Structure 1
Amino acid sequence: MDNAFLQIIVKNNYKLPKEYTPAEITPQLLSNLGSTQSDVRETSYIILCDLINAGVGVNYSPQQLREIKEQMTQNLTYGIGEKESDSVFVRAFSILVLDKLIAVDGVNHYLTEPEIRDLLEQGLVYLAAEKDLRGHVPQKGWAHAIAHAADFFWVITRNRFLDAEDLKRILNAIADKVSEPVAHVYIYQEDDRLAQVVISALLRNLLDMAFLNIWLDRFINPPSGIVWREAFSDEANVNARHNTIMFLRSLYFQLLLGIQYVHHTYPNKIPTMRDELLSETIRALKAIDHWVYANKE
């Protein structure tokens, strides 16, 4: 299935040619998610999303959606741990498809609680294990695995089956990912996408400031054991410091200004603990970047 054929579908308002059914075309669309040609990969993803977003029973039965889910979760381990290989496209676009499958469940409720919890576990394991942190890859287009993982968590945090303990695990996983020593600085707004997950979790009104203060302390004293004042002696630690500061800044301004998401009205609210969390986020920033910010309130 080449890009010319895919463009025929796009130009036909994403309607498949009459001689094809969703079941017939889906295996190739899923295979294309790992293509190194960005037009093939991204167009296949968009077509697949359109088919999924139509809802349960329109293009896919619940069982067919589950089969897609199983393939996508298996894909999350494909080449995991590799840092600059083409396997990242398979993983990065599979986590995006899972995001859409969960979003449809939010409307049609076709997944069970054990299935949602399994997806949460798969997502948490994937976020921790993903080592290819590239955003836009020259000649090959977007990989953006961490941003795509953030999109997955942005959706699953809203799921009816997730409780406060689940949200805490997600926020802790983000803190650990952001603050880990790495050879890569996030430059493609991964910090913004990850901060949006926190906003989504806060809007469930299940988290309290006692947890959030402990969570912010996780940035100040990360599990890796980095001492931020000494980070400049090691490039990986400097990168971790930069990523951590940028994430906290993104969180601060999203709390202050709100976030804009054109496809959903859910974010058009203000977290109930916003003012207190703004103050505590400043506390964390001052503790990490004490050379820049004055201590005066």
Structure 2
Amino acid sequence: MLIKKLEEKNYSDSEWLLKEMLLNIGNVNSYIRDKLIYNAFIGMITKDYLTNDQLKNLFNQLLSNQYLLYGIGFKNSDSVYKRSFSALVLGLLINKDKEQQLLEKSQISFVLDRACFYLVNEQDRRGFTEEKGWAHSIAHCADLLDEIITHPLFEQSMYEKVVEALIFCVNSPFVYEDDEIERLSTPSAALINRYGISQEFIDKIESLINHVLSKKTYSHLDTRIISNIRNYLRAMYFKVDLEEHKQL
């Protein structure tokens, strides 16, 4: 019944649909998860099928340990799909709130804390999985961070927390193959576009580069990190004009 309603884009019984969609948000069937449920969330959120109370309740549920942080710390587990797509839908809700203004400053701060915790503690960094489609945990959480940073209630005091999480991901020996570095560069550029580039941000980038350059020989892991850093800086360069943004 759920699949039929979603294929027909019949969103009239929104309360029942939300319950069933949440139960299946991390469904391992990529057609159900990506094509039906996620697209239904897009339609229901952006086209005002949900009441303000439903939007708030959905936001709170997705932030719980049963969704955004469900099973975090495991590798190669199906739990990644639930975490990753919870992050995507949270991004939709925060984007919608830029016009609705239902959320409070404390809620934006809380979702930021959760997103940064997610990036630092996510162990399953797979992008596309052959049998089950997109896991894309790092990319989806980076998208969520971008929505948070561009929300009116995001404050400059939250700046360094975001930088810590982003640099942690870049400074990883994991081989990102599915646009993750590009996606991590987007919230980084959003920070600079909104508040300029801080001295702390510059120091962290310089520390990454100097650590690599100081080595006389490079291991395979070092080579991966160098590639991540190079691609991250290149992607940011084309998203911001640093001359227009003074240091904090």
| TM-score (norm: length of structure 1) | 0.75
Match of 2:23 in 1: 31
1:195 aligned onto 2:185: yes
In structure 1, how many angstroms separate the alpha carbons of the residues matched to 2:44 and 2:97?
14
**Partner AA of 1:192 in structure 2:** E
In structure 2, how many angstroms separate the alpha carbons of the residues matched to 1:89 and 1:208?
33
Cα distance change, pair 272–23 in 1 and its aligned pair in 2 (3 A): farther
Match of 2:116 in 1: 124
Q: Is the 1:6–1:40 Cα contact (8 Å) retained in structure 2?
A: no
Runs of at least 5 residues in structure 1 that lack an aligned partner in the other structure: 10-14, 256-269, 278-297
Summarize the alignment of residues 1-297 of structure 1 with structure 2, pairs less than 5 Å apart.
Answer: 1=1, 3-9=3-9, 15-16=10-11, 20-42=12-34, 43-54=36-47, 58-74=48-64, 75-181=67-173, 184-204=174-194, 206-208=195-197, 210-220=199-209, 229=215, 232-233=218-219, 235-255=220-240, 273=244
Which of the pair has more CA radius of gyration?
1
In structure 1, how many angstroms separate the alpha carbons of the residues matched to 2:210 and 2:55?
42
Question: 1:232-257: per-residue Cα shift (whole Å, max 9, x none)?
Answer: 33x444322322222122222334xx
Q: Secondary structure at the match of 2:239?
A: helix
Cα distance change, pair 5–161 in 1 and its aligned pair in 2 (3 A): closer
Report the alpha carbon displacement of residue 64 of structure 1 after superposing the two structures with TM: 1.7
Q: Secondary structure at the match of 2:215?
A: helix
| TM-score (norm: length of structure 2) | 0.88
Q: Is the 1:95–1:149 Cα contact (8 Å) retained in structure 2?
A: yes
Q: Secondary structure at the match of 1:79?
A: coil
In structure 2, how many angstroms separate the alpha carbons of the residues matched to 1:176 and 1:7?
40
Q: Is the 2:127–2:137 Cα contact (8 Å) retained in structure 1?
A: yes
Q: Is the 1:231–1:237 Cα contact (8 Å) retained in structure 2?
A: no
**Partner AA of 1:44 in structure 2:** I
In structure 2, how many angstroms separate the alpha carbons of the residues matched to 1:218 and 1:109?
39
The answer to which structure, 1 or 2, has the higher relative contact order (CA under 8 A, 6+ apart) is 2
Cα distance change, pair 218–157 in 1 and its aligned pair in 2 (3 A): farther
**Partner AA of 1:63 in structure 2:** D
In structure 1, how many angstroms separate the alpha carbons of the residues matched to 2:105 and 2:88?
20
In structure 2, how many angstroms separate the alpha carbons of the residues matched to 1:219 and 1:80?
26
